[in-house]
Amino acid sequence: MRSGKVDLVIGSSRDWHPEIKAQSLFNSTFQALVRPGHPIIGQVTPESLTHYPHISVSRRGRTLGPIDDALRDLQLQRNVALTLPSFHSAMMLTMNSDYILPLPRHVLQGVKSVNLPLVEIELPLGLVPIFIVQAWHPRLDRDPAHQWLRQTIKQFFLEKE
């Protein structure tokens, strides 16, 4: 953002550089998807989550996150077998495998509308919500087009609540 190559970032909150402006859009918790008939259905425990391979979705290739932190607190570790850049490809792989696909609850709302053969499972890990924000460099703070974009995005998410 500082270089001007990116005008706006929408993503999970993180430690931004002090000069970066950020506005909260919504929060979300993690759920998971599995195929119908997956052996974990009806038996989801922190321990059973470690018995099956997981898919991590990250544009930056990160494999660790809040789920791993929660499992580590229980002296458990999951097997992240694949890291993919998009939820779409991850869902396609999950439909025909024993993979577990953790994802934010707000992504599930879109999945339900396309009727993919996937089953939602709760993650019994006491995960804290993740906060989704929009962030920008202060040089764009008073730019009318950028203000309009930020207001439109914020309004979109307010209407979804």
Tell me the mean pLDDT in the region 73-78: 97
Same domain for 63 and 120, yes or no, is yes
Q: Are 14 and 60 contained in the same domain? A: no
Residue 65 pLDDT more than 90?
Answer: no
First-to-final CA distance of the chain = 28
Mean pLDDT of the residues in the chain: 91
C-alpha 130 chain-centroid distance: 8
Domain count, the chain: 2
- How do residues 26-50 score in pLDDT, each as one tens digit? 988 899 999 999 999 999 999 999 9
Q: Does residue 1 sit within a domain?
A: no
Q: What's the pLDDT at 67?
A: 94
Please tell me whether residues 100 and 121 are part of one structural domain.
yes
Task: For residues 97 and 150, state if they share a domain.
Answer: no
What is the pTM (predicted TM-score) of this model? 0.81
**CA gap 109, 124 in Å, rounded:** 20
Are 98 and 52 spatial neighbours (Cβ–Cβ below 8 Å)? yes
Its domain, for residue 140, covers 9-26+132-160
Same domain as 154, residue 90? no
Q: What is the pLDDT of residue 126?
A: 92
Cross-strand pairs, 83: 56
> Residue 82: in which H helix or E strand, if any?
strand 79-84
Residue 4 falls inside a structural domain: no
Q: What is the pLDDT of residue 161?
A: 66
139 with 114, same domain: the answer is no
